[in-house]
Amino acid sequence: MSQSCEDRKYAPVGVFDSGVGGLTVAREIMRQLPMERMVYFGDTARVPYGSKSRETIIRYSRQIIHFLQGKGVKAIVVACNTASAFALEELRPELDIPIIGVVKPGAKVAAETTKNGRIGVIGTEGTVGSQIYTKTIREHKPDAEVIGKACPLFVPLVEEGWLKDPITVEVAQRYLASFQASGIDTLIMGCTHYPLLRSTLRGILGEDVNLVNPAYETAQGLKALLSEYCLENDGGKRELSQYQFYVSDAAEKFKNFANSILPCEIEEAQLIHIEE
């Protein structure tokens, strides 16, 4: 690495997702690590990832990581459950900077906080089919019972803006029915869009089920990771731009969505052709 150790701590963190969902992770990083700079990439030209194959998700993630490395990032956050499930461990050996996904932090806190050992996981077809949450939870709690349910309509319902709509409630009731019978005390919202449905999920499951938001835990995990590598930004060099956003399509739409959920106003999302 050409940068000195002193310089590297001022480098941005690279964050990526298939589209806008990862902004819930970016939001937590902004809140919990306010000194950190960030380069965010949303793959809006190829979104969604949740219904696509492992091989394709690895290929797309590799392209994005190369792009972020070109931007001089000091660490990478895979802010997408499907990419964390399929690509993270595959790509880690190719990197000389630390990388963290959303699955491990979410799985760890669920394993540590469940009382009855019964944990539900909702996510995309890819994430749930990969069984990665089950595997990771059992590394921390071998006797945990993990029940997964793919909820493919949640992302389009969020993107339609029907967050608390009666139709969304009905769809959620259908998807969550199996959890109510099985007596889980913890539910992992295993897709970055889902925290936007928190109050709908809470209304169906009641107050006794703990809803785990991996975005929150991932920001905590990133903090620990940067500390471990002596990469924490101490707030110097404030003249550098703090946040940069890149997308592979529909930059204006992305910007509008980002400005509806982020704690700060973003001025621009830049369009790039990621496959080239």
Chain positions contacting its own copies, by CB under 8 A:
44-47, 51-53, 55-56, 59, 152-153, 155-157, 159-160, 167, 170-171, 174, 248-250, 273, 275
CB of 20 to its own copies, least distance (A): 11
Residues 6 or more apart whose Cβ sits within 8 Å of residue 269: 42, 245, 246, 247, 251, 252, 254, 255, 258
CB of 179 to its own copies, least distance (A): 18
Catalytic residue among 5, 151, 191, 264: 191
Say which residue the tokens 């471990």 belong to.
228
Cβ proximity to its own copies, 186 vs 248, nearer residue: 248
Please confirm, yes or no, whether 80 is among the known catalytic residues.
Answer: yes
Cβ proximity to its own copies, 10 vs 154, nearer residue: 154
Cβ proximity to its own copies, 153 vs 204, nearer residue: 153
CB of 253 to its own copies, least distance (A): 8
| Cα 208 → chain centroid | 25
d(C-alpha 107, C-alpha 245), whole Å: 28
The β-bridge partners of 271 are 247
Catalytic residue among 80, 151, 230, 264: 80
d(C-alpha 201, C-alpha 211), whole Å: 9
d(C-alpha 254, C-alpha 20), whole Å: 7
Residues 6 or more apart whose Cβ sits within 8 Å of residue 28: 215, 216, 218, 219
CB of 248 to its own copies, least distance (A): 8
Cβ proximity to its own copies, 45 vs 211, nearer residue: 45
Active site residues: 80, 191
